């Protein structure tokens, strides 16, 4: 009897252990991770390719990614790139002015331009009218008007203005905000000054030239695709010089075949030009930007070396 009991134990115990291991294995949750950039042929890779567009390493290299652009096509989500503004000065106390035929000074910001970080500045402001028909704001830099806005809204309307500050010398500056209300009271609460960090869209900085012909000659072409509000403000950087005096060297920038900017000079040293364009009214899609050169004297040569497009979203 004892021998049978001993045999039973040695037979039953292994069976019970096998059953326990099987139950434990069935209850386990397994997870597998696939590197979709390096693996091919997997069902998961095929599925993901139909579900979303992956943000690439190049996108991260181009700037800080802090918003989502999902307008390219249904199901595609791609992080977009926006500039990183740095606040310089602000006065966000609410102020108002009554009805008047003349502009009333309501706010003043003092700052000092220092280096290329101030090449482009952004002014944020807002307006509303209470009990009247309209209110107009005037933003003045060192007492020169640079932006105006008018609204009939009784709730705040916000404005983001980008100003090309690259041609101004370093030193102290004053930014002033004036209000003119037509009936009732005009209000402002937001008045902020930022420096911005533009993002390069595309460029061709090889030197090109054109000798002695009065006709416009196409020398460079840049292509890009507008995608969303990050392209609402564009900045074009170009330069121009000629081989000798007594003639005008000229350049022209065409956008999708439409002449947009022209410049001329007689300098034998490069002169740089910065052109800004409100691109908010342009539809999303592909654009071609052509640079043309012309010179009137057949014995002279006109040169260009810088051709860059930057986006500067407010």
- pLDDT > 90 in the chain, percent: 55
Q: pLDDT-derived band of residue 298, with 50, 70 and 90 as boundaries? A: confident
How confident is the model over 188-215, as a mean pLDDT?
90
Domain 86-195 has CATH 3.30.9.100: no
Tokens matching residue 25 = 């294995």
- If you average pLDDT over each of 1-5, 192-196, 289-293, which comes out highest? 289-293
Return the pLDDT at 18: 57
Residue ranges of the alpha helices (H) in the chain?
2-27, 43-51, 57-62
Residue 312 pLDDT > 60, yes or no? yes
**What does the DSSP 8-state code read for residue 120?**
E
Return the pLDDT at 313: 64
| pLDDT tens for each residue of 20-29 | 655 554 444 4
- Name 225's bridge partners: 286
Question: What integer best gives the mean pLDDT of the chain?
Answer: 81
The CA distance from 271 to 32, in Å, is 60
Residue 100 CB neighbour total at 10 angstroms: 12
- Which DSSP helix (H) or strand (E) runs through 62? helix 57-62
Residue 162 pLDDT > 60, yes or no? yes
Residue 70 pLDDT > 70, yes or no? no
Residue 177 and residue 97 in contact, taking contact as beta carbons nearer than 8 Å = no
Residue found by looking up tokens 């500067």 in the block: 312
Query: C-alpha distances in angstroms, 45 versus 29, 40, 51, 284?
Result: 22, 7, 10, 29
The CA distance from 285 to 99, in Å, is 45
Residue 135 CB neighbour total at 10 angstroms: 28
The CA distance from 31 to 103, in Å, is 68
Return the pLDDT at 120: 87
| pLDDT tens for each residue of 142-155 | 999 999 999 999 99
- pLDDT > 70 in the chain, percent: 73
Residue 314 pLDDT > 90, yes or no? no
How confident is the model over 275-289, as a mean pLDDT?
93
Kindly report the CA angle at 300 between 296 and 305, in degrees rounded to 5?
Answer: 100
How confident is the model over 42-53, as a mean pLDDT?
51
Listed by start position, the domains of the chain span: 53-81, 86-195, 199-311
Looking at the structure, give the CATH architecture of the domain made up of residues 199-311.
Answer: Sandwich (2.60)
């Amino acid at each position: 009897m004892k021998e049978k009991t001993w045999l039973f134990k040695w037979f039953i115990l292994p069976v019970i252990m096998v059953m326990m291991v099987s139950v434990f294995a069935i209850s386990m949750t397994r997870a597998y991770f696939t590197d979709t950039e390096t693996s091919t042929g997997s069902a998961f890779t095929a599925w993901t390719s139909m579900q979303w567009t992956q943000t690439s390493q190049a996108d991260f290299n181009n700037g800080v990614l802090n918003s989502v652009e999902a307008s390219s096509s249904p199901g595609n989500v791609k992080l977009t790139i926006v500039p990183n503004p740095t606040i310089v000065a602000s006065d966000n106390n609410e102020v108002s002015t009554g009805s008047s035929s003349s502009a009333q000074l309501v706010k003043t910001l003092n700052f000092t331009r220092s280096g290329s970080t101030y090449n482009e500045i952004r002014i944020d402001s807002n307006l509303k009218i209470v009990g009247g028909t309209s209110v107009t704001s005037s933003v003045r830099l060192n007492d020169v008007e640079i932006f105006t806005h008018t609204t009939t809204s009784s709730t705040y309307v916000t404005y983001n203005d980008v100003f090309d500050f690259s041609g101004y010398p370093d030193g102290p500056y004053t930014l002033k905000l004036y209000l003119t209300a037509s009936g009732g009271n005009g209000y402002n609460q937001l008045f902020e000054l930022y420096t911005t960090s533009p993002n390069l869209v595309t460029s061709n900085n090889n030197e090109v030239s054109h000798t002695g012909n009065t006709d416009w000659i196409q020398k460079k072409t840049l292509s890009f695709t507008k995608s969303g509000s990050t392209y609402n403000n564009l900045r074009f950087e170009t330069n121009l010089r000629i081989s000798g005096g007594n003639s005008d060297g000229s350049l022209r920038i065409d956008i999708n075949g439409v002449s947009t900017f022209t410049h001329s000079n007689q300098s034998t040293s490069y002169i740089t030009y910065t052109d800004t364009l409100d691109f908010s009214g342009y539809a999303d899609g592909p654009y071609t930007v052509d640079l043309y050169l012309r010179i009137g004297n057949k014995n002279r040569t006109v040169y260009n070396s810088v051709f860059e497009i930057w986006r500067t979203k407010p």
